Each structure stands twice: as C-alpha cells, then as structure tokens.
Amino acid sequence: MSTPTVGVLALQGDVREHVEALERLGVRTLRVRRVEELGRCDGLVLPGGESTTMIKLASVFGIRDALREAITGGLPTFGTCAGMILLADRLRDGAPGQETLGGLDATVRRNAFGRQVDSFEADLDFPMFEDPVHAVFIRAPWIEEAGPDVEVLASVAVGEGDGAPSRIVAVRQGRLLATSFHPEVDDDLRLHRHFLDLVTA
C-alpha cells in the first residue's frame, strides 16, 4: 500500500491529538463525519471523549450504520477509551439505552475504575514493546470478558498489594486495536505505529 489514509472519527473528543500523532508518523489523515469520508479510509481511529455523545452524533450525521458495517467488514480500527466503548460488542454500565458500534468480541465496563480514581497513570508492559508504555486513564473503561479471538495486550492492577486484581486495558482482535487509556495525549507513538502496521499488513 502507498501512503495509507487514516480517518479519525471527528464528531466529538480528542480528535486533534490523534490527527497530530498520525501525521507525525507520516500518514495521510482525514477527519471523518460523513459516509463518503469513511469510504476513503484505509484505517479508522475512534478517539477518546464521551461515548454517549459520539454514538448519538453518529446517528444524527447518518454515519452510524456505515461505521458498523465498515468495522465488522474488516476496516482496521483503533479505539481509545470512549472509542474502546464504541467498539465493544457488549457494554456494562452504559447510559440507559446506550448503543455501541461493535466489532470487538468483548464486554466493556464503562467508567469502570470508579469515582475515587477518575484519572490515574500507570506504566504498562506490552508483549511487542521492549519498554513499558506510560498510560493516562481518564474515566476509563476496562474489559471484563473477552472472546477467544481477542488477544490481551496489557492489564493494570487495581488496588494495592500482591493480591490486587488485574484488569484488561488493551487488546487486539485481528485488525482491531483498543485501549482503555489515551496514547494520543503522550509523545510516545508506539501504539499508533503498531496500529499503522495493522493498517498496512
């Protein structure tokens, strides 16, 4: 593939941060609000923000069903935080009646880390990176249950001590990538580069 075009769903959320990260990696970017724009993308980023607002706006802009079809049809897609919620086939603690786009065979719990720890940071090990990734979590979801084709990439311990349970916060399923945290707010481009490898594979 020559230089790929990667769209960022631009209905709400931290669109600019993703566009900048992708441009630093030398790909063509496109802010996606309409079905025609989606059709020009070789890959798609669903940004962090507020999943309830994004799914409503997707419906208002008439792009929701096209997004569903594109993602389940194999468009490489990277969802971060609210974007991970949008990718989930099954959602817990959604707003009443909240829908997702789906594609990722997983149950995602929204705002999972609770009020006390609305935001936190942690260093996470990934199998494909030598050094840990510094992860910023903001009212983040976690993955509660994942299907057989979902590969767990990273988990975080919740609470203190050796017995603290660990929660899944990054996964890959084929050409779908999802993180509970926001790699776009950091200078570290490794996860975006990893996603581009999935786009061009």
The set of catalytic residues is 81, 182, 184
Total residue count of the chain as it appears in this document: 201
The Cα 179–Cα 190 span in angstroms is 13
- Give the burial string for 137-154 (b: 16+ CB within 10 Å, else e): bbbbbbbbebeeebeebb
**Which structure tokens are listed for 96?**
């009443």
Q: Which residues bind ligand GLN (CB under 6 A)?
A: 48-51, 81-82, 85, 110-111, 138-139
Side chain identity, residue 127 = P
Return the number of the residue (19 or 81) whose C-beta is nearest ligand GLN.
81
User: Minimal distance in Å, beta carbon 136 to ligand GLN?
Assistant: 9
**Which structure tokens are listed for 188?**
């570290």
User: Minimal distance in Å, beta carbon 139 to ligand GLN?
Assistant: 4
Q: Is 139 annotated as ligand-binding?
A: yes
Going from the C-alpha of 59 to that of each of 68, 101, 122, the distances in angstroms are 11, 11, 35
Return the number of the residue (42 or 137) whose C-beta is nearest ligand GLN.
137
**Which structure tokens are listed for 93?**
């603690």
Q: Is 62 annotated as ligand-binding?
A: no
Q: Is 138 annotated as ligand-binding?
A: yes
User: Minimal distance in Å, beta carbon 127 to ligand GLN?
Assistant: 24
- Residue in the block written with tokens 């923000």: 49
User: Minimal distance in Å, beta carbon 35 to ligand GLN?
Assistant: 23
Return the number of the residue (49 or 76) whose C-beta is nearest ligand GLN.
49
> Within a 10 A sphere around the Cβ of 162, how many other Cβ atoms?
5
Q: Is 110 annotated as ligand-binding?
A: yes
Return the number of the residue (107 or 111) whose C-beta is nearest ligand GLN.
111
- Annotated binding-site residues for L-glutamine read 49-51, 110, 138-139
- Annotated binding-site residues read 49-51, 110, 138-139
